[in-house]
Amino acid sequence: MHLEVFAEGNSFFHSLDPRVKILVFIPFAILCAISKGIIIPLLYFMLSLIFILIAKPNLKVFLNRLAGANFFILFIWIFIPLSYKSNPYISLGFLKLSYKGLEYALSITLKCNAIIFATIALLSTSTIFSLAHAMLHLKFPSKLVTIFFLFYRYITVMHEEYIKIKRAVLARGFKPGTNLHTYRTYAYIVGALLIKSFERSEEIYKAMLARGFKGFFPLFEHFKLKKLDVAFAIFANFIVISIYLLGIYK
Amino acid sequence: MHISEGVLSPPVLITGAALTGVGLVLGLKTLKAEKIPEVAVLSSTFFVASLIHIPIGPSSAHLVLNGLVGLLLGWSAFPAIFLGLLLQALIFQFGGLTTLGVNTFAMAFPPVVLSYILRRFLKKDKYSLTFTVSFLVGFLSIIFSAILIGIALYFTEKSFTPVIITLLGAHFPIAIVEGFITSFIMLYLLKVKPEVVL
Minimal Cα–Cα distance from A235 to chain B, Å? 22
8 Å CB contact between A118 and A28:
yes
Residue A216 lies in a domain: no
Is the pLDDT confidence value at A175 over 80? yes
If DSSP codes are grouped into helix, strand and coil, which group holds residue B167? helix
Residue A132 lies in a domain: no
Q: Are residues A79 and A202 in the same domain?
A: no
Q: Are residues A29 and A109 in the same domain?
A: yes
Cα–Cα nearest to B133, from B148, B143, B119: B119
What would the CATH number be for the domain defined by B10-196?
1.10.1760.20
Note the pLDDT tens digit of each residue in A2-16. 888 999 989 999 999
8 Å CB contact between B79 and B27:
yes
* Among the ranges given (A195-199, B46-50, B85-89, B91-95), the one the predictor scored with the smallest mean pLDDT: B91-95
Selected residue with higher pLDDT from A223 and A160: A160
What is the Cα–Cα distance from A137 to A214, expressed in whole angstroms?
Answer: 19
Per-residue model confidence (pLDDT) at position B1:
62
Confidence of residue A98 (pLDDT cuts 50, 70, 90): confident
Per-residue model confidence (pLDDT) at position A28:
97
What is the Cα–Cα distance from B75 to B172, expressed in whole angstroms?
Answer: 26
The whole-number average pLDDT for the span B62-91 is: 95
Per-residue model confidence (pLDDT) at position A47:
97
- Whether chain A has a CB inside 8 Å of the CB on B51: the answer is yes
Residue A215 lies in a domain: no
Confidence of residue A97 (pLDDT cuts 50, 70, 90): confident
The whole-number average pLDDT for the span B63-87 is: 96
Q: List, in sequence order, every beta strand (DSSP E) within B51-196.
A: 53-56, 59-62
Amino acid letter, residue A15: S
Cα–Cα nearest to B180, from B135, B137, B126: B135
Residue A242 lies in a domain: yes
Per-residue model confidence (pLDDT) at position A82:
77
- Whether chain A has a CB inside 8 Å of the CB on B154: the answer is no
**Closest residue, chain A, to B162 (C-alpha):** A79
Residue A235 lies in a domain: yes
Per-residue model confidence (pLDDT) at position A87:
64
Q: Are residues A42 and A71 in the same domain?
A: yes
- Whether chain A has a CB inside 8 Å of the CB on B4: the answer is yes
* Among the ranges given (B52-66, B105-119, B169-183), the one the predictor scored with the smallest mean pLDDT: B52-66
Total tally of structural domains belonging to chain A: 2
Q: Are residues A90 and A11 in the same domain?
A: yes
What is the Cα–Cα distance from A78 to A73, expressed in whole angstroms?
Answer: 9
Per-residue model confidence (pLDDT) at position B162:
87
Give me the domain span that covers residue A156.
Answer: 140-210
Q: Do B34 and A155 touch (CB under 8 A)?
A: no
> What ipTM was assigned to the predicted interfaces of this complex?
0.94
Q: Are residues A39 and A82 in the same domain?
A: yes
Note the pLDDT tens digit of each residue in A50-91. 999 999 999 999 999 999 888 888 888 888 877 776 666 777
Cis (ω within 30 of 0) for the bond into B110?
no
Per-residue model confidence (pLDDT) at position A88:
66
Q: Could you say which residues from 204 to 223 on chain A have a Cβ atom under 8 Å away from some Cβ of chain B? A: 204-205, 208, 213-215
Note the pLDDT tens digit of each residue in B22-32. 999 999 999 99
Note the pLDDT tens digit of each residue in A188-245. 999 999 999 999 999 999 999 999 888 777 776 778 899 999 999 999 999 999 999 9
Minimal Cα–Cα distance from B117 to chain A, Å? 23
Domain boundaries, chain B: 10-196
- Whether chain B has a CB inside 8 Å of the CB on A130: the answer is no
* Long-range contacts from A99-103, C-beta under 8 angstroms, 24+ separation: A101/B159, A103/A37, A103/A38
Residues of B whose CB is below 8 A from A240: none
Per-residue model confidence (pLDDT) at position A81:
79
User: What residues contact residue B39 under an 8 Å CB cut-off, 6+ apart?
Assistant: A147, B31, B73, B76, B79, B80
